[in-house]
Amino acid sequence: MSIFVGGMAMKDDKLHSPARVALTAYLKAKKMRRTPERYAILEKIFSTDEHFYVDDLHKNLEAEGYHVSLSTVYATIQLFVEAGLVRRHQFGNQPAQYERVPQGINESHHHLVCNHCGRVRAVRDQEVISMIGNLRYPTFKTEFFSLYVYGICSRCQKKLKKEKEKEQAVAKTKKKKTKP
Ligand SMILES: [Zn+2]
Ligand SMILES: [Zn+2]
């Protein structure tokens, strides 16, 4: 679904433990139950730096023998979004995609979104990060930024090129046939 470019994957313990601590604090503050499901879903989310669909997350949990209903997964993701552990993205008119929010670590990146297949690639561009990081807006405290760049991915470019070549070949043979 998405590929992270260069060194974005962090060591597990560096990410998992602060996330668990943050979730526990949040649940305690909200007087919500610390269910094993919530922690299992958190673990799963923090084990990947990819963007994901809730349906796929649910399928992956199922495949690993972890049975939680789809509605529980949706509700849990919503809770994580409110707790600042997960970020929601909506690219064009595709279903929402989510990604983990590492606690205390800056994983700022922007997104290259393919207009054809919807594939999302995350890129970490130091120039963009420092440029936006250095911007100061009066009376506003920046926490993170989200930038989407829309275009056509390499796979779709190849596909479109092939289709075009095919069309041209067909047009050529048609031309030949119509010649007297
Ligand atoms: Zn594409
Ligand atoms: Zn992202």
Q: What is the pLDDT of residues 41-86, one digit of tens each?
A: 999 999 988 889 999 999 999 999 999 999 999 999 999 999 999 9
Strands (E), the chain: 86-89, 97-100, 110-114, 120-123, 148-151
Cα 13 from chain centroid (whole Å):
21
Q: Which CATH number describes the domain made up of 12-178?
A: 1.10.10.10
Give the ligand with the smallest distance to the CA of 149. Answer: 2
Side chain identity, residue 67: H
Minimum-distance ligand to the CA of 94? 1
Q: Is the pLDDT reported for residue 156 higher than 90?
A: yes
This prediction's pTM: 0.73
Q: Which ligand is nearest to the CA of 1?
A: 1
Is residue 20 within 8 Å of residue 85, measured between CB atoms?
no
SS3 state at 64: coil
Q: Are strands 110-114 and 148-151 parallel, antiparallel or unpaired?
A: parallel
Ramachandran angles phi, psi of 87, nearest 5°: -115, 140
User: Residue 77 Cα, ligand 1 centroid: separation in angstroms?
Assistant: 27
